[in-house]
């Protein structure tokens, strides 16, 4: 018999509507192949899900996307704070969110870290904060914009990456021909005075969700997305400067979507041996790009690590302490654990079981990030605009 | 004279229910009620006269409190918010005088004013309710923040008299308020057991406001009471109002609804009213498993009992756990978050109505973000309280942040109003506010 590890006998200390016995069967780990009693992965060590805070700031921005754990204390940010950005504005239009909030796990207080202006020179289309966000050891926060004026890609711009000082003030903007809707979570190598960012760009060639020129009358799938490596130099007290940009992967599908704005490569995570893993949402797979930090040419879509199975539109991705990948599903409330070496999908945990969606948790998950101690992870629930800790 | 007589008699200044419009006193009105009831009973012989009288009868207008607040709830409402357009305080006073006089007539089943017999003059009443019974019409007047100051301008010299409790409502999480359904310097809520009577009343009063105030927004509502009595159901199919403090308990009303000595004297025995137009995504809700619906609400759907209990009025046990230690009433259930126990004992008197304004194209604000034609229907939430700061604002803050029901509801309209006490005959609603300022 497979171990029945209920992911949330408690979604919080006590039962909430979406968790508990009502959905106990759903909450169990889905294990396609496992041997009883042997720990196979990270997810089975996660027993408790605690809703920490509602992430909506005073201006009403909705739809939390990116999650970053602060590596240092700087400016208004304390080490281990969780930064969360919002993709929607108060009217719930996607691609118009402009705020980053800061959750302090010690005080449990949520404060607004940054409110960006609607328009920034050098950021085509304006501001709609995406899942691309990081904080460097030097205190700089870098966040992506995948902007729209009407909540759809009909009016999207190419966007940019925005560099903020640790007080939330805009310091500089990174844009140009290689940047087009930086969308998914970044993978980052931070050495202090230099840093390497990996950013997925999911906007090249994407048109309106009303474009019905796809084979079945749907918006066409464009295979022009890229993974861009950006090298930064950070002089003491100065904002990061881009020293080089290299497209290290490309050709993943991207598609305009009425409901979820756009679908494209979203999750990036670094593994051992300089491998970069990419969640290819439309391909419903995870691929691997070799020599990520040194390659000078595009590796295309890379080597397929795993496909389908428990994956249901993989989105944000993070590396667990055991080297496994944790990836959130867009089409149900599951997080899937993958051994990237073997390509095996270990199992999935149904972390968002909100039955208001079908299947439960459909469309609710996006950002995911490990806790500083590596004993759990934070994730967002877009259905109720909350930050949740799983450990 | 009877209503039947009205149907064959040429209209010449008839009162609505068949006695002459010039009869203005309360005694005459009561007498009229009896005549009217008898006439109706003869027409609808299959209905018990007593029940019909109760449904069609007269609610008192003059009194310590305004009607329509703790009055047992009628089946229809017509709410209108107005913006004042005059620069003169005297115009406001004149309007309130005119409204009071007309409302006192309308609630007893009379026309808003004598119809008159000049064929070259507009009649004193539109006439569409002629022959209809009073239908327990109540008319409740409220003063919005804009009466006291508008865009920082003290138009009427009243800014210093604004009650502290008449706060501007804060923005709540998830609010999607639209200007065309929000705010107002004045409001009128007509409630009646006949939708036409309610609309007729507001229509007559709005007409009296020409040049002084203009309609900003309106909302209709309905709420049919179960044939056997008991708590009515909202459009989600759940009993709504179970936890209300009893309107029949004057002590509770004094504690939670009626303003006391803590504020300005002119508001004593009045109340503060918050209205919210709350759209419910019925299409989404209707597809939810009933067990899930019950978890969202925190009550069993058909009995109305709190989860884990058997009868509607059983006291909810919010500490109860199941065998796994999980709360029987989920932590984010609507009933838990709105309960007095969760809000430091705070209570408000909800007196809301369902609404149905057709269908429109909507983009849902929760995954998976459906975009389709959907009902524009939901709850016209009306709550009366002694102080909104410790009432609606406190409770709704909890709900806005944590209520799992937020995936099905959206607040799209809002208003807050100070409803002054009732008036004595010969005076007018809100007269105390203008004491010493009558010029």
- Give one DSSP letter per residue of B302-331, joined into a string: TT-PBTT-SSTTSPP-TT-B-TTS-BSS-T
What pLDDT band is residue A29 in, cutting at 50, 70 and 90? low
Which residue is it, tokens 């950005």? A85
What pLDDT band is residue B41 in, cutting at 50, 70 and 90? very low
Q: Torsion-angle region of residue B36: left (phi > 0), alpha (psi -120 to 50) or beta?
A: alpha
What pLDDT does B33 receive?
39
Q: What angle do helix axes B89-107 and B195-208 make, rounded to 10 degrees? A: 150
What pLDDT does A324 receive?
98
d(C-alpha B186, C-alpha A162), whole Å: 47
A362 vs B contacts (CB less than 8 Å):
367-368
Minimal Cβ distance to B368: which of A90, A92, A363: A363
Mean pLDDT of B237-262: 96
Mean pLDDT of A329-347: 97
d(C-alpha A265, C-alpha A201), whole Å: 8
Asked whether the beta carbons of residue B332 and residue A9 sit closer than 8 angstroms, the reply is: no
Asked whether the beta carbons of residue B367 and residue A15 sit closer than 8 angstroms, the reply is: no
B330 vs A contacts (CB less than 8 Å):
14-17, 20
d(C-alpha A98, C-alpha A168), whole Å: 12
Q: Which residues of B touch A (CB under 8 A)?
A: 171, 173-176, 284, 287-289, 291-292, 295-296, 321-322, 324-327, 330-333, 363, 365-371, 401-402, 404, 406-408
Asked whether the beta carbons of residue B331 and residue A58 sit closer than 8 angstroms, the reply is: no
Minimum CA–CA partner of B289 in chain A: A355
d(C-alpha A162, C-alpha A123), whole Å: 8
d(C-alpha A68, C-alpha A133), whole Å: 7
Which residue is it, tokens 């209209």? B11
Reference B303, options B242, B381, B379, B222; nearest CA is B242
- Site from A14, A91, A258 to mutate, B interface, most B CB atoms within 10 angstroms: A14
Give the tens place of pLDDT for each residue, B158-198: 999 999 999 999 999 999 999 999 999 999 999 999 999 99
Residue B307 has pLDDT above 80, yes or no: yes
What pLDDT does B47 receive?
53
Specify the higher pLDDT residue, B10 or A230.
Answer: A230
Residue A163 has pLDDT above 60, yes or no: yes
Residue A87 has pLDDT above 90, yes or no: yes
- Give the tokens for residue B225: 């009471």
Asked whether the beta carbons of residue B287 and residue A358 sit closer than 8 angstroms, the reply is: yes
What pLDDT does A47 receive?
87
What pLDDT band is residue B423 in, cutting at 50, 70 and 90? very high
User: Under 8 Å CB-to-CB from A210, ≥6 apart: which residues?
Assistant: A154, A219, A258
- Give the tokens for residue A227: 């993974």
Asked whether the beta carbons of residue B331 and residue A12 sit closer than 8 angstroms, the reply is: yes
**Any idea which of A13-17, A199-203, A224-228 has the lowest mean pLDDT?**
A13-17
Distance from CA of A358 to the nearest CA of B (A): 9
B401 vs A contacts (CB less than 8 Å):
54, 56
Asked whether the beta carbons of residue A10 and residue B367 sit closer than 8 angstroms, the reply is: no
Distance from CA of B164 to the nearest CA of A (A): 23
d(C-alpha B421, C-alpha A382), whole Å: 45
- Give the tokens for residue B436: 């010493």
Percent of chain A at pLDDT > 90 equals 87
Distance from CA of A136 to the nearest CA of B (A): 31
- Give the tokens for residue A374: 């590596």
> First-to-last CA distance in chain B?
43
Q: Considering the entire predicted model, what is its pTM?
A: 0.86
Residue A9: CB atoms within 10 A of its CB come to: 18
Residue B233: DSSP 8-state: B
What pLDDT does B45 receive?
46
Minimal Cβ distance to A355: which of B176, B292, B325: B292
Residue B114 has pLDDT above 70, yes or no: yes
- Give the tokens for residue A214: 């796809």
Backbone φ and ψ of A335, nearest 5°: -110, 135
Sheet holding A129-135, edge to edge: A129-135, A141-145, A160-164, A170-174
CA B323, distance to chain mean position in Å, is: 43
Minimum CA–CA partner of B398 in chain A: A54
Asked whether the beta carbons of residue A362 and residue B368 sit closer than 8 angstroms, the reply is: yes
Q: Do A267 and A252 meet the contact criterion of CB atoms below 8 Å apart?
A: no
Average pLDDT, chain B: 89
Residue B60: DSSP 8-state: -
Mean pLDDT of A143-155: 96
Distance from CA of A293 to the nearest CA of B (A): 36
Residue B7 has pLDDT above 50, yes or no: no
Asked whether the beta carbons of residue A18 and residue B404 sit closer than 8 angstroms, the reply is: yes
For the CA atoms of chain A, what is the radius of gyration?
Answer: 19
Asked whether the beta carbons of residue B369 and residue A258 sit closer than 8 angstroms, the reply is: yes
Percent of chain B at pLDDT > 70 equals 88
Minimum CA–CA partner of A361 in chain B: B367
Sheet holding A49-54, edge to edge: A49-54, A386-390, A377-381, A365-370
Asked whether the beta carbons of residue B331 and residue A16 sit closer than 8 angstroms, the reply is: yes
Residue A359 has pLDDT above 50, yes or no: yes
What pLDDT does B366 receive?
73
Asked whether the beta carbons of residue A384 and residue B404 sit closer than 8 angstroms, the reply is: yes
What pLDDT band is residue B52 in, cutting at 50, 70 and 90? confident
Sheet holding A261-263, edge to edge: A187-190, A194-201, A222-233, A241-257, A261-263
Residue A363: DSSP 8-state: T
Distance from CA of B329 to the nearest CA of A (A): 8
Helix or strand holding residue B200 (H, E): helix B195-208
Mean pLDDT of A170-180: 97
Asked whether the beta carbons of residue B173 and residue A383 sit closer than 8 angstroms, the reply is: no
Asked whether the beta carbons of residue A260 and residue B174 sit closer than 8 angstroms, the reply is: no
Asked whether the beta carbons of residue A60 and residue B331 sit closer than 8 angstroms, the reply is: no
Distance from CA of B295 to the nearest CA of A (A): 6
Asked whether the beta carbons of residue B322 and residue A15 sit closer than 8 angstroms, the reply is: yes
Residue B56 has pLDDT above 70, yes or no: yes
Distance from CA of B225 to the nearest CA of A (A): 29
d(C-alpha B438, C-alpha B433), whole Å: 10
Mean pLDDT of B256-284: 97
Q: Do A15 and B326 meet the contact criterion of CB atoms below 8 Å apart?
A: yes
Mean pLDDT of B287-310: 97
Minimum CA–CA partner of B298 in chain A: A17
Mean pLDDT of B328-357: 96
d(C-alpha A22, C-alpha B282), whole Å: 23
Give the tens place of pLDDT for each residue, B324-340: 788 999 999 999 999 99
Q: Torsion-angle region of residue B413: left (phi > 0), alpha (psi -120 to 50) or beta?
A: beta
What value of ipTM does the predicted structure carry?
0.81
Q: Do A174 and A182 meet the contact criterion of CB atoms below 8 Å apart?
A: no
Minimal Cβ distance to B324: which of A21, A54, A60: A21
B368 vs A contacts (CB less than 8 Å):
259-260, 357, 362-363
Distance from CA of B370 to the nearest CA of A (A): 7
What pLDDT does B28 receive?
36
Three-class DSSP category at B398 = helix
Give the tens place of pLDDT for each residue, B373-399: 999 999 999 999 999 999 999 999 999
d(C-alpha A83, C-alpha A186), whole Å: 14
Minimal Cβ distance to A14: which of B171, B331, B401: B331
What pLDDT does A18 receive?
46
Residue A363 has pLDDT above 60, yes or no: yes
A91 vs B contacts (CB less than 8 Å):
176
Residue A12 has pLDDT above 60, yes or no: no
Minimal Cβ distance to B367: which of A15, A54, A362: A362
What pLDDT does A229 receive?
98
What pLDDT does A35 receive?
52
Burial letters B17-38, b for 16+ CB under 10 A, else e? bbbebeebeeebbeebbeebbe
Mean pLDDT of B222-242: 94
What pLDDT band is residue B9 in, cutting at 50, 70 and 90? very low
Asked whether the beta carbons of residue A356 and residue B408 sit closer than 8 angstroms, the reply is: yes
Average pLDDT, chain A: 91
> First-to-last CA distance in chain A?
24
What pLDDT does A31 receive?
53
Which residue is it, tokens 């304390």? A78
User: Under 8 Å CB-to-CB from B119, ≥6 apart: which residues?
Assistant: none
DSSP 3-state percent helix, strand, coil across chain A (nearest 5)? 5, 40, 55
What pLDDT does B36 receive?
40
What pLDDT band is residue A389 in, cutting at 50, 70 and 90? very high
B321 vs A contacts (CB less than 8 Å):
14
What pLDDT does B4 receive?
36
Reference A70, options A388, A382, A371; nearest CA is A371
Specify the higher pLDDT residue, B10 or A238.
Answer: A238
A–B interface: beta-carbon pairs under 8 A? 104
Q: Do A270 and A281 meet the contact criterion of CB atoms below 8 Å apart?
A: no
Asked whether the beta carbons of residue B325 and residue A14 sit closer than 8 angstroms, the reply is: yes
Tell whether the torsion through CA atoms of A59, A63, A64 and A65 is positive or negative.
Answer: negative
Residue B341 has pLDDT above 60, yes or no: yes
Q: Do B69 and B419 meet the contact criterion of CB atoms below 8 Å apart?
A: yes
Mean pLDDT of B418-425: 97
Q: Do A257 and A275 meet the contact criterion of CB atoms below 8 Å apart?
A: no
- Give the tokens for residue B194: 């006949």
A259 vs B contacts (CB less than 8 Å):
367-371
What pLDDT does B323 receive?
85
């Amino acid at each position: 018999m497979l171990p029945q590890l209920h992911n949330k006998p408690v979604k919080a200390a006590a039962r909430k509507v979406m968790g508990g016995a009502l959905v106990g069967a759903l909450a169990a780990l889905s294990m396609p192949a496992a041997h009883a009693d042997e720990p196979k992965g990270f997810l089975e060590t996660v027993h408790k899900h605690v809703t920490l805070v509602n992430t909506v700031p005073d201006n009403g921005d909705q739809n939390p996307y990116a999650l970053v754990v602060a590596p240092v204390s700087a400016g208004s940010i304390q080490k281990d704070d969780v930064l969360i950005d919002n993709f929607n504005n108060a009217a719930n239009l996607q691609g118009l969110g402009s705020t980053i909030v800061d959750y302090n796990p010690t005080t449990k207080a949520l404060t607004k870290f940054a409110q960006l202006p609607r328009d920034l020179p050098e950021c085509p289309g304006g501001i709609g904060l995406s899942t691309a966000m990081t904080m460097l050891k030097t205190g700089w926060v870098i966040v992506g914009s995948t902007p729209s004026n009407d909540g759809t890609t009909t009016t999207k711009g190419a966007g940019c990456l925005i560099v903020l000082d640790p007080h939330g003030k805009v310091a500089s903007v990174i844009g140009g021909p290689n940047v087009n809707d930086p969308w998914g979570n970044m993978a980052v190598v931070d050495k202090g005075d230099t840093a390497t960012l990996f950013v997925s760009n999911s906007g090249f060639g994407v048109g309106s969700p009303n474009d019905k020129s796809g084979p079945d009358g749907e918006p066409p799938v464009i295979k022009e997305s890229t993974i861009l490596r950006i090298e930064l130099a950070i002089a003491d007290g100065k904002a990061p400067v881009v020293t080089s940009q290299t497209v290290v992967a490309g050709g993943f599908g991207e598609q305009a979507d009425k409901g979820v704005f756009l679908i494209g490569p979203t999750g990036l995570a670094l593994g051992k041996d300089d491998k970069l893993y990419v969640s290819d949402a439309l391909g419903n797979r995870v691929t691997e790009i070799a020599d990520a930090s040194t390659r000078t040419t595009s590796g295309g879509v890379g080597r397929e690590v795993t496909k389908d199975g428990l994956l249901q539109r993989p989105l944000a991705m993070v590396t667990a302490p055991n080297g496994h990948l944790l990836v959130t599903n867009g089409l149900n409330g599951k997080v899937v654990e993958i051994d990237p070496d073997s390509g095996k999908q270990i199992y999935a945990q149904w972390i968002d079981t909100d039955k208001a969606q079908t299947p439960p948790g459909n469309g609710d998950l996006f950002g995911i990030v490990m806790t500083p101690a590596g004993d759990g992870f934070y994730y967002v629930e877009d259905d109720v605009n909350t930050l949740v800790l799983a450990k | 004279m009877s209503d039947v007589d009205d149907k064959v008699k040429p209209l010449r200044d008839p009162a609505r229910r068949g006695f002459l419009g010039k009869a203005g006193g309360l005694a005459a009105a009561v007498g009229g009620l009896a005549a009217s009831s008898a006439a109706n009973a003869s027409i609808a012989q299959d209905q018990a006269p007593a029940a019909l009288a109760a449904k069609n009868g007269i609610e008192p207008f003059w009194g310590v409190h305004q009607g329509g607040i703790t009055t047992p709830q009628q089946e229809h409402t017509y709410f209108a918010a107005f913006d004042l357009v005059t620069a003169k305080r005297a115009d406001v006073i004149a309007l309130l005088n005119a409204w009071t006089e007309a409302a006192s007539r309308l609630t007893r089943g009379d026309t808003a004013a004598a119809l008159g017999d000049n064929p070259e003059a507009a009649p004193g009443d539109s006439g569409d309710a002629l022959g209809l019974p009073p239908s327990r019409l109540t008319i409740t007047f409220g003063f919005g923040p804009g009466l006291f100051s508008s865009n920082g301008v003290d138009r009427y010299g009243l800014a210093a008299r604004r009650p502290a409790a008449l706060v501007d409502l804060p923005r709540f999480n998830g609010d999607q308020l639209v200007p065309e359904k929000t705010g107002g310097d004045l409001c009128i809520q007509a409630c009646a057991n006949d939708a036409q009577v309610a609309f007729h009343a507001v229509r007559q009063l709005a007409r009296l406001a020409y040049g002084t105030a203009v309609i900003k927004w309106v909302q209709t509502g309905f709420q049919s009471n179960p044939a056997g009595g008991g708590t009515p159901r909202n459009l989600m199919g759940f009993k709504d109002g179970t936890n209300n403090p009893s309107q029949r308990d004057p002590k509770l009303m004094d504690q939670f609804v009626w303003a006391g000595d803590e504020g300005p004297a002119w508001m004593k025995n009045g109340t503060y009213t918050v209205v919210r137009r709350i759209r419910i995504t019925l299409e989404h809700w209707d597809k939810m498993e009933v067990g899930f619906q019950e978890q969202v609400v925190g009550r069993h759907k058909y009995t109305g009992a709190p989860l884990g209990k058997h009868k509607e009025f059983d006291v909810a046990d919010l500490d109860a756990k199941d065998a796994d230690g999980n709360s029987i009433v989920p932590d984010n259930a609507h009933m838990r978050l709105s309960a007095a126990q969760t809000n430091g004992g705070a209570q408000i008197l909800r007196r809301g109505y369902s609404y149905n304004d057709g269908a429109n194209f909507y983009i849902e604000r929760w995954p998976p973000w459906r975009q389709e034609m959907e009902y524009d229907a939901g709850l016209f939430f009306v709550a009366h309280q002694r102080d909104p700061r410790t009432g609606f604002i406190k409770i709704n803050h909890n709900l806005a942040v944590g209520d799992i029901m937020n995936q099905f509801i959206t607040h799209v309209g809002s208003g807050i109003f100070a409803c002054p006490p009732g008036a004595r005959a010969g005076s007018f609603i809100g007269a105390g506010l203008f004491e010493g300022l009558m010029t």
